[in-house]
Amino acid sequence: MTDSLNKQFSQIYDQYIDKIYRFVYLKVSSQEIAEDITSKVFIKGWEAFKSPKKPIKNPGAFLYQIAGNAVIDHYREKGRSKLVS
């Protein structure tokens, strides 16, 4: 079962890694930040994918949702750090 999940998620990763990275990069305009956020997106995606709670019917839409939320979180954190000087 785990091998099957690993293989499935590996295919999803290969299919979406460049697309998610580009999506994030266009929002943050920094290669380092985009790479960091993209890695977090796939870690969260993997955690949800291996969870037996409910199946993910559209992995692409799910990853884009995580990516959008991660970008929002990034700007929230960035805003907070500017306020604390």
pLDDT in tens, 30-70: 999 999 999 999 999 999 998 878 788 899 999 999 999 99
Confidence at residue 77, expressed as pLDDT on a 0 to 100 scale: 86
Confidence at residue 82, expressed as pLDDT on a 0 to 100 scale: 57
* pTM exceeding the 0.95 threshold for the entire prediction: no
SS3 track for the chain = CHHHHHHHHHHHHHHHHHHHHHHHHHHHCCHHHHHHHHHHHHHHHHHHHHCCCCCCCCHHHHHHHHHHHHHHHHHHHHHHHHHCC
